[in-house]
Amino acid sequence: MSKFPNLTLTASIAALILAMPAWAGNYGLGRPALPEEIAAWDVDVSPDGTGLPEGSGSVEDGEAIFADYCAICHGDFAEGVDNWPKLAGGADTLDREDPLKTVGSYWPYLTTTWDYVHRSMPFGNAQTLTPNEVYAIVAYILYSNDLVDDDFVLSNENLLDVEMPNAEGFIVDDRETSEAHFWTAEPCMTGCKDTVEITMRAAVLDVTPEETRAKKVQELIRRTRPEPSREDVTAAAVPADQPATEVAASAEVDPELAAAGETVFKKCKACHQVGDDAKNKTGPILNGIVGASAGHVDGFKYSKAMQEAAEGGLVWSDAELAAFLAKPKSYMKGTKMSFAGLKKDEDIEAVIAYLKSFQ
Amino acid sequence: MSESSGKKGASRRQFLTSVAAVGAGAVAAGAARAAAPDPLITEVQDWARATGDGVDATPYGLPIEYEGDVIRRNVEWLTADTISSINFTPIHALDGTITPQGCAFERHHSGAIALKKEDYRLMINGLVDQPLVFSYADLERFPRENHVYFCECAANSGMEWAGAQLNGAQFTHGMIHNMEYSGVSLRTLLEEAGLGAAGDLKDKWVYVEGADASSNGRSIPMEKALDDCLIAFKANGEALRKEHGYPVRLVVPGWEGNMWVKWLRRIEVMDGPVESREETSKYTDTLEDGTSRKWTWVMDAKSVVTSPSPQAPITHGAGPLVITGLAWSGRGAITGVDVSVDGGKSWQPARLAAPGQDKALTRFYLDITWDGSEMLLQSRARDASGYVQPTKAQLREVRGLNSIYHNNAIQTWWVKASGEAENVEVS
């Protein structure tokens, strides 16, 4: 955000220049930017607070907004889901192995958090939050990091007063002095060391993608194939009391598609579990969901909307599930599932294939 | 080597058999002698009898199907979602220095967007005499320059800080590409808007921002902005690819790839850095004591042997062997590359395919007669500033293990007698 005192002044300068035949440009290309255009795009916020709009938001409001827009990736408590960024925790870990870098433990300026949430979040629906919503979300992130109390209200007035724990934790690039010994000009060419031994091998860790992927696919093939013996299948994924026909049905799953679905399912894992040890979490267990009646999982408290749909005889066929997953809240008004939906048809198809492998 | 689709490349067993057969022949008789006439020569082949494709069979050509494994690859466990992720250039399979756009690595923070030239706008605002808006057509009317530069992600080799992890040059060093850019210098555009309003330029900054949903933005000191930054719209002669920022990206020669803002939409002259997310919480390098370096923009001198390497094993047995690789430095031209086959005990100068160019990839070769015994292959780059690429131990001594970014350490491939290679660390 530029430091012109206000838009009125900028506007008058622009008007003045517009009135002249041409500005000082060498080529006279382009056109003057209008104040409204600059205001629309120039929204960055600097560490001194330049660019922060008026507004405020409470931790309490932030918690609700965070649950709706952010928790799907960052977790209800900003603890992070899978590989999505953790926003809270990690205090005093920066000098340890695998430091946990969060807004609380690492970010030096709170203006950066405000600026980033405002311009780049929520992921998939960026640049839609109002300033007050952003203040509330940032307040909640601070609260998740134990940096403010639960009755805290963040505003443009007090944002710069919040002390960031790692504000003094940065130095400007000093490689040219701290690593001056790398400028040796004439390096050693012979007799540089007496012995050489292999101290670590990549093959031991075995995290190279193609192998990993091949293994995953094989694992899925094993899990979804009824042969060579019933025992194998039962042991792998299918509950012992499942009728044989359902095992046969699961064998139709395309393992490649199911593997792709496993990746898509990362978006669902914050709330749903599958597999032998699955438990109800924010969402119900999804074992056997494809082809099942809506609301069939014991012990899960479904929304009223879902209960009504179940009474109406809704069955999660491929088609119904696909429609639900595309836009949960449009498909079923009142569902508890606070998920925006899967945009790509191939993702929906893949995740259904993956779910079929847990029949 | 084991592709899940199966059709790409020979199986490991085929590979080993061929090595054994060719290797034995080569050692015994120098140039191998054919046991029987080669039917590929003595019999008329289909391609020599019938006609091939006419022109326009592929109005825009793609590599022939036999090269189908020369593709970008992703490391799934690295990131939560491919929309905010990175993939890797197949440097093990390329030669020369120019990276074809179609296999040049991608890094997106909110996915690659489709932005039409007609819908493209570039704004310059802030401390300028006249805030301006340019259309794409406007940009094409400024004097143009052509330059070849490498673009390397700051996280290239980042997974290797704690130890040898990924088995392939593509994965250890593939977050890099090297293209010839055509565009307008950033200086030209800044001067068009006029820098009088900025006053003393010494302490001024330029903030650059992309048009995609990530709104990736970085602060660049005015000195660099006026030096060699380029507003690029062509790469290797043709329009930028969508995944590289079509229609316009910023080129910041020698500096970390994150600053090369794609879908560039705004340039703001400021009196300080924004300290955006990508220049504070990311792209900062944490040292052993917990303090972190910021503004580590320059990419240090670095090199890697691209072949032989884990994905490009020796398949011909003992005898003449071409060892080749790439070297580059963000501080200027590469002046020399040394290669070691004994894990760094001794070094020999490699042959540079062409004199090193400023902030661009340099191809090196070392042509040897391989005796068929195992090697610990390394390469070591030197640049015009006198910098010598350090060992991993030297880097760790200064920076510890938690830096994530800017790992430019010497890479070791353990090439076994079978010709297979593995990513290792040595003492």
pLDDT in tens, A208-221: 776 444 444 445 43
Q: φ, ψ for residue A258 (rounded to 5)?
A: -65, -35
Residues B166 and B367: their CA atoms lie apart, in Å, by 26
Q: Give the confidence band of A245 by pLDDT, cuts at 50, 70, 90.
A: very low
Give B4's pLDDT tier (boundaries 50, 70, 90): very low
As a whole number, mean pLDDT of residues B342-356 equals 98
Shortest CB distance from B346 goes to which of A42, A190, A201?
A: A190
CATH classification for the domain delimited by A209-356, as one of 1.10.760.10, 3.40.50.1110, 3.90.1300.10, 3.40.640.10 = 1.10.760.10
Which CATH number applies to B302-424: 2.60.40.10, 3.40.1160.10, 2.60.40.650, 3.40.630.30?
2.60.40.650
- Test mutation, A123, A215, A262, chain B, max B CBs within 10 A: A123
* B55 CA: distance to closest CA in chain A (Å): 35
- Residue B366 pLDDT exceeds 90: yes
- What pLDDT is attached to residue A30? 96
Q: What is the pLDDT of residue A252?
A: 67
A46: which chain B residues are within 8 Å (Cβ-Cβ)? 270, 272-275
A162 to chain B, closest Cα gap in Å: 17
Nearest to A213 among B4, B196, B427 (CB): B4
Please check the confidence at residue B147 and state whether its pLDDT lies above 70: yes
Residue type at B134 in one-letter notation: F
Whole-number pLDDT of residue B422: 96
- The Cβ of residue B6 has, within 10 Å, a number of other Cβ atoms equal to 9
Of A244-248, B23-27, B203-207, where does mean pLDDT reach its minimum? A244-248
Q: What is d(CA B18, CA B25) in angstroms, rounded to the nearest whole number?
A: 11
Paired sense of beta strands B334-340 and B348-349, if any:
antiparallel
What is residue A338's predicted lDDT score, i.e. its pLDDT?
A: 65
Sequence ranges of the domains in chain A: 7-41, 56-161, 209-356
A-B CB pairs within 8 A amount to 293
Q: Is the pLDDT of residue B425 over 90?
A: yes
Q: Indicate the pairing of strand B264-270 with strand B121-126.
A: parallel
pLDDT of residue A226: 38
Cβ separation B194–A217 shorter than 8 A? no
Residue A223 clears pLDDT 70, i.e. is over it: no
| Yes or no, beta carbons of A2 and B127 under 8 Å apart | yes
Percentage with pLDDT > 70 across chain A: 79
How far apart CA A250 and CA A241 sit, in angstroms, is 15
Q: Which two tokens stand for residue A55?
A: 């507004």
Instruction: Record the pTM.
Output: 0.78
Question: Residue B304 forms beta bridges with which residues?
Answer: B326
What span, in angstroms and rounded, lies between the C-alpha atoms of B260 and B208? 9
Show residues of chain A in contact with B426, CB under 8 Å: 196-199
Tell me how far apart the alpha carbons of residues B376 and B392 are, in angstroms, rounded to a whole number: 15
Best mutation target among A93, A141, A182 (most B Cβ atoms within 10 Å) is A182
Please give, rounded to a whole number of angstroms, the shortest distance from the CA of B385 to a CA of chain A: 8
> Which residue shows structure tokens 């012109």?
A4
Q: What is the pLDDT of residue B128?
A: 97
Between CA B70 and CA B129 the distance in angstroms is: 49
Residue B264, beta-bridge partner list? B210
Q: Provide mean pLDDT across the span A3-23.
A: 48
Give the C-alpha separation, B263 to B317, whole Å: 48
pLDDT band at B82 (very low <50, low <70, confident <90, very high): confident
Give the chain B residue whose CA is nearest to the CA of A10.
B131
Residue of A nearest to B159 (CA): A207
Q: Are A23 and A17 in contact (CB under 8 A)?
A: yes
The reported pLDDT for the residue numbered B15 is: 46
Domain A56-161 matches domain A209-356 at the CATH topology level: yes
**pLDDT tens, A82-97?**
889 999 999 999 999 8
State the best of B133, B302, B405 to mutate against chain A, taking most chain A CBs within 10 Å: B133
Q: What pLDDT score was predicted for residue A296? A: 85
Q: Do B155 and B189 contact (CB within 8 A), yes or no?
A: no
Cα diameter, chain B? 81
Chain B residue whose CA is closest to A38: B125
| DSSP 8-state symbol, A114 | H
In the prediction, which pLDDT does B9 show?
43
* Domain boundaries, given as residue ranges, for chain B: 1-41, 101-293, 302-424
The C-alpha of B209 sits at a distance from chain A's nearest C-alpha, in angstroms, of 10
Mean pLDDT value of segment A147-163: 97
Please write the tens of the pLDDT for every residue from A42-92: 999 999 999 999 999 999 999 999 999 999 899 999 999 888 999 999 999
Measured between CB atoms, which of A3, A123, A178 is closest to B271? A3
Query: What are residue B337's DSSP bridge partners?
Result: B381
Query: Is B174 in contact with B107 (CB distance < 8 Å)?
Result: no
Nearest to A14 by CA among A39, A38, A34: A34
Q: Is A149 exposed, middle or buried (0-12, 13-18, 19+ CB in 10 A)?
A: exposed
Which residues in chain B have Cβ-Cβ distances shorter than 8 Å to A120?
109-110, 213-215, 277
Q: Select the residue of A32, A106, A179 nearest B130 (Cβ to Cβ).
A: A32
Report which of A26, A42, A34 is spatially closest to residue A10, judged by C-alpha positions: A34
Among A1, A7, A23, A29, the residue to mutate for chain B (most B Cβ within 10 A):
A29
At residue B157, the pLDDT reads 96
Residue B184: what pLDDT?
98
- The listed CATH number (1.10.760.10, 3.40.50.300, 3.40.50.261, 2.60.40.790) that belongs to domain A56-161: 1.10.760.10
Measured distance CA(A53)–CA(A137) in Å, rounded: 15
Q: What is the dihedral of CA B166, B171, B172, B178, to 10 degrees?
A: 180
- Nearest Cβ partner for B215 among A120, A190, A214: A120
How close B203 comes to chain A (CA, Å)? 15
Fold of B101-293: Sulfite Oxidase; Chain A, domain 2 (3.90.420)
- Indicate if the pLDDT at residue A236 is higher than 70: no
Q: Do A46 and B274 touch (CB under 8 A)?
A: yes
Range scoring the smallest mean pLDDT among A182-191, A295-304, B270-279, B340-349:
A295-304
Integer Cα distance of A30 and A16 in angstroms: 17
Note whether B215 contacts A123, CB cutoff 8 Å: no
pLDDT score recorded for residue B81: 84
d(CA B77, CA A338): 26
Of A94, A124, A195, the CB nearest to B286: A94
pLDDT tier for residue B12 given thresholds of 50, 70 and 90: very low
Q: What angle do CA B322, B171, A180 make, to 5 degrees?
A: 85
Tell me how far apart the alpha carbons of residues A310 and A330 are, in angstroms, rounded to a whole number: 17
Instruction: Among B142, B289, B424, select the one facing A95 at the smallest CB separation.
Output: B289
Pick from A174-183, B78-87, B332-341: least confident: B78-87
Asked if B257 contacts B242 with a C-beta cutoff of 8 angstroms, the reply is no
Can you give the pLDDT at residue A210? 61
Q: Answer yes or no: do B215 and A126 touch at CB < 8 A.
A: yes
Rounded Cα distance between B331 and B412, Å, is: 24
Top pLDDT among B220 and A9 is at B220
Taking CB atoms and an 8 Å limit, are B346 and A189 in contact across chains?
yes
Percent of chain B predicted with pLDDT > 90: 89
The alpha carbon of residue A243 is apart from the nearest alpha carbon of chain B, in Å, by: 32
Q: Closest Cα partner for B358 from B228, B222, B223, B174?
A: B228
**Which has more confidence, B421 or A343?**
B421
Query: Most confidently modeled of A203-217, B71-85, B87-101?
Result: B87-101
Residue B25 pLDDT > 60: no
Write the residue in B2, B110, B132 that is nearest to A32 by C-beta: B132
Nearest CA in chain B to A125: B213
Q: Which residue of B has its CA nearest to A176?
A: B387
Residue A200 three-state SS = strand
Show the 3-state SS of chain B.
Answer: CCCCCCCCCCCHHHHHHHHHHHHHHHHHHCCCCCCCCCHHHHCCCHHHHCCCCCCCCCCCCCCCHHHCCCCCEECHHHCCCHHHEEEECCHHHCCCCCCCHHHCCCEECCCCCCCCCCCCEEEEEECCCCCEEEEHHHHCCCCCEEEEEEEECCCCCHHHCCCCCCCCHHHHHCCEEEEEEEEEEHHHHHHHHCCHHHCCCCCCEEEEEECCCCCCEEEEEHHHHHHCCEEEEEECCEECCHHHCCCCEEECCCECHHHCCCCEEEEEEECCCCCCHHHCCCCCEECCCCCEEECCCECCCEEEEEECECCECCCCCCEEEEEEEEEECCCCCEEEEEEECECCCCCEECEECCCCCCCCCEEEEEEEEECCCCEEEEEEEEECCCCECCCHHHHHHHHCCCCCCCCCCCCEEEECCCCCEEEEEEC
- The confidence score (pLDDT) of residue B44 equals 97
Question: What is the C-alpha to C-alpha distance for residues B332 and B356, in angstroms, rounded to an integer?
Answer: 9
Strand B292-294 versus strand A170-172 pairing type? parallel
- The alpha carbon dihedral of B300, B168, A265, A80 has a sign of negative
**Residues A141, A103: contact at Cβ < 8 Å?**
yes
pLDDT at residue A240, rounded to an integer: 37
Nearest to A30 among B134, B271, B284 (CB): B134
User: How far are the Cα atoms of A12, A33, A80, A257, A292 from residue A5, in angstroms, in the given order?
Assistant: 12, 17, 40, 57, 62
> Does the structure show a pLDDT above 80 at A246?
no
Mean of pLDDT values over A247-259: 66
Q: Specify the length of chain A in residues.
A: 359
Q: Which helix (H) or strand (E) holds A233?
A: helix A230-236
CA distance to A8, A28, A34, B190, per residue, from A17 (Å): 14, 13, 11, 17
The answer, yes or no, to whether residue A294 has pLDDT greater than 50, is yes
Higher-pLDDT residue of B153, A256: B153
Is the pLDDT score of B176 beyond 60? Answer: yes
Residue written as tokens 């067993």?
B13
Asked if A192 and B346 come within 8 Å (Cβ–Cβ), the reply is yes
Nearest Cα of chain A lies from the Cα of B47 at a distance, in angstroms, of 34
Interchain CB distance below 8 Å, A205 and B296: no
